[in-house]
Structure 1
């Protein structure tokens, strides 16, 4: 069968903190993640998108927000939207 391993990053808050992004990026790099799956609302999805970009970047993901770097490559992102009022 196909064994699918997963790593969970929980506790993403509304208006996610860069610390959550950095933690997610580090998990992706440590565990050689191939896909980021966001389960939740808009903040969770936003956090997942920047984690996916940061996972393939050697610098700090904050560089994308300060325009020191442009996103060149990102991991695929899947979403399971749990709120009807966002997305």
Structure 2
């Protein structure tokens, strides 16, 4: 089983935005992703990942590959399971 580590990816998105000294509004204008979705994605909130489109668009904008944040888990679900290895 694999799962996206939303918290780590969100932290990477936030760090990339802050490094570029961009506001949420500026990222929204350049990507077409709403400020609320960007904010939720940066916090790792599940609602920020409802569509893969937002993750792919933000990843491309920040030059971050979301696949680097996919982890493999032993068992049927990542909840409470032991991390086996990072993907990639």
Higher helix share: 2
Larger Rg: 2
* Fold similarity call, TM over 0.5: no
* TM-score, scaled relative to structure 1: 0.28
